Amino acid sequence: MTARRAPEARVGGRTVAEVRRDFPILGRTLPGPGGREQPLVYLDNAATTHKPEAVLEALGGFYRNSNANVHRSLHTLGEEATAAYEQSRETVRRFLNAASIAEIVFTRGTTEAINLVAHSWGGAALRPGDEILLTEIEHHSNLVPWQLAAASAGAVLRFVPVDGEGRLRLEELEGLWSERTRLAAVTHVSNVFGTTTDVRRLAEYAHARGVPVLVDSAQGVPHLRVDVRELDCDFLAFSGHKIYGPMGIGVLYGREELLDAMPPYQGGGEMIRSVWPERATWNELPYKFEAGTPNVAAAVGLQAALEYVTALGPDEIRHYEEQLADYARHRLAEVPGLVLHGPRRGGGTVISFTFPDLHPHDVAQVLDRHGVAVRAGHHCAQPLMRKLGLAATLRASVAFYNTPEEIDRLIAALGAAREFFAP
Q: Is residue 5 included in any domain, yes or no?
A: no
Whether 247 is in a domain gets the answer yes
CA-wise closest residue to 338 among 299, 374, 379: 374
Q: What is the pLDDT of residue 4?
A: 65
- Please tell me the distance from the alpha carbon of residue 173 to that of residue 195, in angstroms, as a whole number: 18
The reported pLDDT for the residue numbered 1 is 39
In a domain, 235, yes or no: yes
Mark whether 72 and 15 lie in a shared domain: no
Low-confidence ranges of the chain (pLDDT < 50): 1-2
Does residue 39 share a domain with residue 126?
Answer: no
Question: Are residue 356 and residue 213 in the same domain, yes or no?
Answer: no
Q: Which pLDDT score, from 0 to 100, does residue 73 have? A: 83
Residues 37 and 141 in one domain: no
Domain housing 416: 10-50+313-420
Catalytic residue from among 46, 70, 324, 380: 380
- Indicate whether 125 belongs to any domain: yes
Q: Is the dihedral of CA 347, 413, 30, 373 positive or negative?
A: positive
Whether residue 1 is contained in a domain is answered as: no
Is residue 295 included in any domain, yes or no?
yes
Q: Where are the alpha helices (DSSP H) in 62-166?
A: 76-96, 110-125, 144-153
Do 377 and 299 share a structural domain?
Answer: no
Q: Which of 283, 311, 339 is the last residue of a domain?
A: 311
pLDDT score recorded for residue 347: 80
233 given a catalytic annotation: no
Domain count, the chain: 2
Same domain, 223 and 365: no
- What's the CATH code of the domain at 15? 3.90.1150.10
CATH code of 240's domain: 3.40.640.10
pLDDT, residue 401, reads 98
40 and 134 in a single domain? The answer is no
- 246 and 148, same domain (yes or no): yes
Q: Are residues 162 and 224 in the same domain?
A: yes
Does residue 322 sit in the same domain as residue 288?
no
Q: Of the candidates 311, 342, 377, which is a domain's last residue?
A: 311
Is 142 domain-assigned?
yes
Residues 36 and 64 in one domain: no
DSSP string, 203-261: HHHHHTTT--EEEE-TTTTTTS---HHHHT-SEEEEEGGGGTS-TT-EEEEE-HHHHHH
Its sign, for the CA torsion 87, 92, 94, 98, is negative
Is 282 in the same domain as 406? no
What pLDDT does residue 2 have? 45
* 3-class DSSP string for 401-413: CCCHHHHHHHHHH
Residue 2 belongs to some domain of the structure = no
Domain boundary among 289, 311, 333: 311
Buried b (16+ CB within 10 A) or exposed e, 166-202: bbbebeebeebbeeebbbbbbbbbbbbbbbbbebeeb
